[in-house]
Amino acid sequence: MKKILISTILGFSLSTPAIVQALDLKALDDVKSAVTGDKGGKSDDNAINWEDLATTGASAEIDIYMGTKLMNKALANMAEALDLKEEAASLNAEAEKISDDGSISGSYNLSENNKKSETTSKLVVKSLNEANELSLEQKKALGSGIAQYAVGGLRYVKGVKSIKDVVESAKDAPLTQVANFAGLIKLAPTALKGAQLLVTNAPALVSALSAKDVAEPAEMKDLIKDSGF
């Protein structure tokens, strides 16, 4: 039967040193109870449905990636309007790595994506501040872009808030369920950092656009005000 190192699995939730090196999968719950003294966790009234929690986590992951895709496309359009063609192409390429159903390829790196997004956002702000005047066509493209960017940002932040709750609950998961949350636990810190960068950099972007008579969408106000980061 498949062997699993107990020290690896318990590392994020238990401080007690591992006594056993490897155990059969069917025995892992018994071991956790023996080490922690937990005889079943929460009461039946507060018991977590792990299948439902995993589904919630999957939905949160989709929100994060779809929000990222929307923001990439929106920021790419704004960059294109300001003749930042290389940056626009790079963000569009990142957006294409995310499928329309929110799934990603195995090589996709959200951290790298967020770095590119932050760099491009700052370049857009710089270009706006240095521009003497924008054409009506540029203003239209920028207005459409910031509106889409805000919608994507709201979806991203929604996913991050949800994934934080899921990961917090997953700390109490029985060992036989831990694997269902491993990907979310790994994603959460990167997603949270991306949300913090988003709400930190958004005001400068909005300010630079407003100075060029590009209106701030209501969704952006909600994003900055209600993010909680």
CA 180 to chain centre: 18
Residue with tokens 């656009």: 209
Distance between CA atoms of residues 215 and 174, nearest Å: 50
Distance between CA atoms of residues 216 and 146, nearest Å: 8
User: Which tokens is 110 given?
Assistant: 């959200």
**pTM (predicted TM-score):** 0.78
Residue 3: its pLDDT value, please?
38
Residues in the chain with pLDDT values less than 70? 1-46, 226-229
Residue 107: its pLDDT value, please?
81
> Would you say 22 and 6 are in contact if contact means Cβ atoms under 8 Å apart?
yes
Distances (CA, A) of 128 to 62, 131, 159, 203: 32, 5, 30, 14
User: In angstroms, how far is the first alpha carbon of the chain from the final one?
Assistant: 45
Residue 25 DSSP class: G
Return the bridge partners of 104, or none.
Answer: 98
Residue 9: its pLDDT value, please?
34
